[in-house]
Structure 1
Amino acid sequence: MRVTQSMLSNNFLKHLSNNYDKMGKIQEQMNTQKKITRPSDDPVVAMKGVAYRTNLTEVQQFKRNFTEAHNWLDNTDAALDQAKKALERIRQLTVQASNGTLEENQRASIAEEVKQLKSQIADIANTQVGDKYIFNGTDTLNPPTSVDANGNIVVKTPSNNNPVKLELANGVYIQVNSVNSDTNGIFNQELFDSMDKLITNLEADDQDALKQDLNNLDTHINNLVNERATVGARSNRIELMEDRIDQQEISVTKMMSKNEDADMEKVITDLITQEAVQRASLGVGARIIQPTLLDFLR
């Protein structure tokens, strides 16, 4: 086959264009610091990148859930601590009133303080995180306690008394609130009814009944202590899970970087090599293309 000047010129231009295309891709890698800029550059790297990014997005969502979980549990623990202090103050006043040496106006003062502390406990039961009530199961938009027409505190039965749970790992849901309105709850109706009885017994100076009131207070205080211990155990577990998620985030980010990020030392070396190839290609092309009339006229 006869090789013509036209064939040499076309081959030269084709190879020159390919060299420029390679240099363009290397330049893109330098600018973006990524191995690929489009899936067609390397489908395997692109597919792995999608998987890693999906995993990273999932981990980052879990981290946001951890922030929400800490918020709920910290507020729950603080509320339980305040309620415990209020009940301990009521118990202290009850012990003081049960010695039988107080005058009538002193017992009335104690009864009045107990009323105020009862209202304070009701306010604690209505603690909110943002706009959500944390002691009312999943019925978080409605307060668990209210005051009726007679001034009595009423614990409502929530429409859904299931615990609030957050997903903190794949398929792992942790309870972040304390359900209170069932019979074993911490802010149940029995608690407020027992305080109403205590107030009545204080006003009547019923010493025998006050002793039973002390036993009831001890039961409710123990319930609060036990619930705080449960909340603390959940907090400890969440902290351990959070450490694991942090490690997963670091690991996924590292794998994604290895998969996608360009090795800049290699990219610079490739660029230098390609530039040398390009210069050599131009030099060869200048030699094999026949001179034109203008070249002879020089």
Structure 2
Amino acid sequence: MPRITNSMLVANYLNNMKRNLGNMSTLQNQLSSGNSITRASDNPSTATRIMQLNSEIAANKQYNSNIKDVTNWLDTTDTALSEAGNVFSRIRELMVKAGNGAYGKDEISNIKDEIVQKVAQLGDILNSSFDGNYIFGGTKSTSKPVVANSDGSISYLDKNGTAFTGASGTAADPNAYTQINTKLTAEISTGVTIEYNQTSTNILEFTDTDSGTSVNASDVLKDIVNNLSNPTATNLSTVTGSDLTKMDYIIKNVQKCRSTVGAMQNRMDSAQATNEDQNYNMTSILSEVGDVDYTQKTMEYSVAQTVYTASLQTSAKVLTKTLLDYL
């Protein structure tokens, strides 16, 4: 049997003390932080899982924020489309009134003036904004997308506020039309990206699905005002004939746009509920993996403290301080 020296006893004692102190320190950190893992080296696999869960929870919170933003955007859009539908319906009523053979030029002029005012109101609606962004402006959302003109037409606006009607935009801003016509996207969950906005072009330029007729609402409104400005029998017949038919297409198109928005609102409600469920589940898993069981850790700390105290008391008896203890 090898000789056990005093230095060997001291070294063994110090190693045990360090281990006991380290165990107490770990337990103290866990109790004070509430986390079962305070360093990656404590448990690498658990630490990796915790980091992954934290990353997923952070991403899920961003998705939740995106869903709320889209929902608010859609609510604003729905309100604006409702107002636009009311404006077009009122214009239609005025068009029907213009066909009343008993009306003279003054009455027709008053109808025309009200329609021009309704077109101006429509321009304001198409320039509705949410959180500083024009909701019908596509990616050109920081400046107004349209302007209503006194002749009843509605023009698009480039970044400098210059009016244009064609898809080529303006010389200063050739991409203006493309930007106004562009869909906005948002990611609402991992790998799920949606288009959620309606544009001015959706409302003003479309093809009626039933008849196959291409309609430009700006041209129709301009034609109505022009015909009412010169209320001959032929012009009034056009207002109550082909123009009225196109106005019905316009109203139906607005209803279609609003229906699309409504369907997207329902989808966002479902996405919100799913997101909240996922967040709850991930948070619960993170708690199970990373949170401290205070009852268990308090008992473990009490045991560790007892062991540490016992080791101090034992060493005081076994390891003498001086030779005088032997005399």
Alignment TM-score > 0.5, same fold: yes
Aligned mate of 1:211, from 240, 263, 266:
240
Residues 258-297 of structure 1 aligned to structure 2 (within 5 Å): 258-290=288-320, 292=322, 295=325
Moved more, 128-137 or 80-89: 128-137
Shift of 1:199: 1.9
Aligned to 2:86: 85
Q: Which moved more, 1:100-109 or 1:243-252?
A: 100-109
What is the Cα-based RMSD across aligned positions, in Å? 2.5
Aligned position for 2:211: none
Pairwise CA distance, 1:104: 2.5
2:152–2:218: 8 Å Cα contact kept in structure 1?
no
Distance (Å, rounded) in 1 between the aligned partners of 2:102 and 2:256: 34
Residue 282 of structure 1: how far off its partner (Å): 2.0
Identity of aligned residues (%): 30
Q: Which residue pairs with 1:177 in the alignment?
A: 197
Q: Per-residue deviation at 1:294?
A: 5.5
- In structure 2, give the amino acid aligned to 1:41: D
How many residues end up aligned between the 2 structures?
296
Rounded Cα–Cα distance in structure 1 between residues aligned with 2:117 and 2:217: 15
Alignment check: 8 A CA contact 2:123 2:154 kept:
yes
Query: Using the alignment, how far apart are the partners of 1:17 and 1:254 within structure 2?
Result: 35
Q: CA deviation at 1:146?
A: 3.0
- 1:293 deviates by 5.2
Amino acid at match of 1:170: T
Q: Deviations over 1:131-156 (max 9, x none)?
A: 43322333334533235797853234
Verify the 8 A CA contact 1:134 1:140 in the aligned structure 2: yes
Q: Could you tell me which runs of 5 or more consecutive residues in structure 1 were left unpaired when the two chains were aligned.
A: none
What's the counterpart of residue 162 of structure 2?
none
Aligned pair partner of 1:234 in 231, 245, 264: 264
Cα deviation for residue 81 of structure 1 reads 0.7
Which structure 2 residue ranges, 5 or more long, are not aligned?
Answer: 157-164, 168-176, 209-213
Structure ranking higher on relative contact order (CA contacts 8 Å, 6+ apart):
1
> Residue in 2 aligned with 1:116?
117
* TM-score of the pair, normalised by structure 2: 0.82
Secondary structure at the counterpart of residue 159 of structure 1: helix
Output the amino acid matched with 1:35: S
Q: Which letter does structure 1 place at the counterpart of 2:306?
A: A
The TM-score with structure 1 as length reference comes to 0.90
Counterpart residue type for residue 57 of structure 2: L
Matched, 1:257 2:287: yes
Contact 1:19 1:278 in 2 (8 A): yes
Shift of 1:39: 0.8
The equivalent of 1:71 in structure 2 is 72
Equivalent pair of 2:151/2:226 in contact (CA under 8 Å): no
Q: 1:159 aligns with which of 170, 178, 197?
A: 178
Going from structure 1 to structure 2, the CA distance change for 1:150 and 1:233 (only over 3 Å counts) comes to: closer
Residue identity matched to 1:166: A
Deviations 1:183-230 (A, max 9, x none): 4189x9821221222223333334312312322221111111111111
Q: Decide whether aligned partners of structure 1 residues 24 and 262 sit closer, same or farther in structure 2, where only a CA change above 3 A counts.
A: same
